[in-house]
Structure 1
Amino acid sequence: MDEKFAIATLKFKFRARQWVQLPPFSGSTWRGALGQALRRIVCVHSLQATCKSCILRSTCWYAKLYEPVIAPQCAFLGKQAEAPHPLIPQPWPLGGTLKSGQEAGLDLVLIGEAIAAVDILVQATQRMLNHGIGRDRGELDLLDWELQTPKLNPWRPETLPTQIHLHITTPLRLRIEGRILRPEKITMRTFGTTLLRRLSLFTCCHSTASLNADFKSLTNAAEQIQIKKRDLHWVHWARYSSRQQRHIDMDGVVGELIIDLKVASVWWPYLWLGQWLHVGKGASMGMGRYYLHKDLFAPTVTLSLTSQ
């Protein structure tokens, strides 16, 4: 697959000054705290104002990263299409309690133009740490940061293995008719078409290229993907929204699928690329993260979860 947009990772490394309490999947917490810090740095209006009516929206990094606008040329994707956020959090560990002196980190996957926001994101991260993170505003020190291009090429997958181990590490929330699919309802057709739509939106909104994919053919091929083993679990958890002042359910599926692409090898480049983009509802908050290669392994959750 030809490269449609640039992908880079801004990697931060921290050390906890004290105990820091984070939710089991902390992507939304890091993303929210970083967004608040970023907005306080760049916004020239009252924080009560909305980006929608701001005349500086097209040049504002907060608006570009947190409230992107669907591009006019993406109308073919439907009225419900929303611009994907070009910043995807990948914290390590995934969540739980950090002890005093423990090291942790936050990787931000940056898409397209967002890569140019490195300097302001470093400033916002330092401000976020000074304010504290998590339920009790736990404090951390910034030890190091680095902008990296992926060691593995997102656009050039490795040789297709005989069997693919697809490890889902943060809740996968595939939605059909308003409902999040339970483990037994997950199919490669639904997984693949959801991923393909996300890739289409990224290509349309964050590049000048076009995907040029045969959606019908790919959908038919996805139905032929064989699931050799299904070890999926339903995870219950909720995140707190400071904007809505309430907890929001973020239940989803984690676990492993072993799949065979022998008769659907056309899907291999798309599944490979999805390791950086995440898939499903809440992907911009770090949900729907999966990996196929051990070098993209996401550290396990440090807090026990209720699952079934």
Structure 2
Amino acid sequence: MNVVVFDVGGTSVKYGLMQDDELKAQGKIPTPQGADATQEEFLAGLDGVIDKLRAEAGGALDGVAMSLPGTIDVDARYIKTGGALLYNYETDANTWAARWGMPVEIENDARCATIAEYDLGNLQGAKTGVVLAFGTGIGGGIIINGEVYKGTHLYAGEASMIYIETPPVTQELVSGTSFSDKCSTVSLTRLMAEAKGLDGCSGEEALAWVKAGDEVACGVFDTYLENLSREIHNIQCLLDPDVVCLGGGISQDSFFVEKVREAVRYFNEDLLPFAFPVPEIHACKFFNDANLVGAYRHFLRMQAKRAA
């Protein structure tokens, strides 16, 4: 089987070819952004990738599997909301299948990562598992008894929308009060750069300063860990998962994962005046490939479901 896989992010679209269950021909293209960006511009970029991967596969493709931001009805192949990609709101992806002349299956990005980790990664065997994927925002995915839990309105796992403080009355996407505003990778680097008087920094630079003992960086990171450990505790209160997997590029650094593990342990075991369970915390096995692998596994699930 030859399936084109896309992981659509806020800044880039990663892609690859799943050929006999092996991920090949990986690359990325920019994600159209800004007020003037259109869905046609977005799809034209994907057209070029599909043509390229069709040649890689010797001319035969069996479908397209897509990991996307937003609220997605997978049975109807309908994108209700598209996260930061406003041009994908209220989109019927069946039109994409017609455009490309082959089956298309779509799923929320964090749920793709969750499927990958449950099927093949570090959530295998978990009765209740959670994935938190750190990037532009915080994607969330939940597995309960082997099934992805989506909730009544497809909002289960929308971690970015958890509010730590009451938001101000504003139309701004970044209010400084949400879980995403406090704990996404983008927020960590923004807060770190502001504290150090810089225009910006990368996640790697931020963690390097912390590892080196930089006083300002350590202060920012301590606050970050306090916010993150509190929200993981709250998730534990609601779902009681046995495993929480951390995804996104920052999770590839074992230092980051261990510091989150220590902070959660401290919150649950040292701060509380009573015994409280601590979930296992691991990095996602597939790191930046999790959404690609999960999109493919979702494609297989949905195609089997539609054929039944």
TM-score normalised to structure 2 length: 0.27
Q: Which has the higher strand share?
A: 1
TM-score normalised to structure 1 length: 0.27
Q: Which has the higher helix share?
A: 2
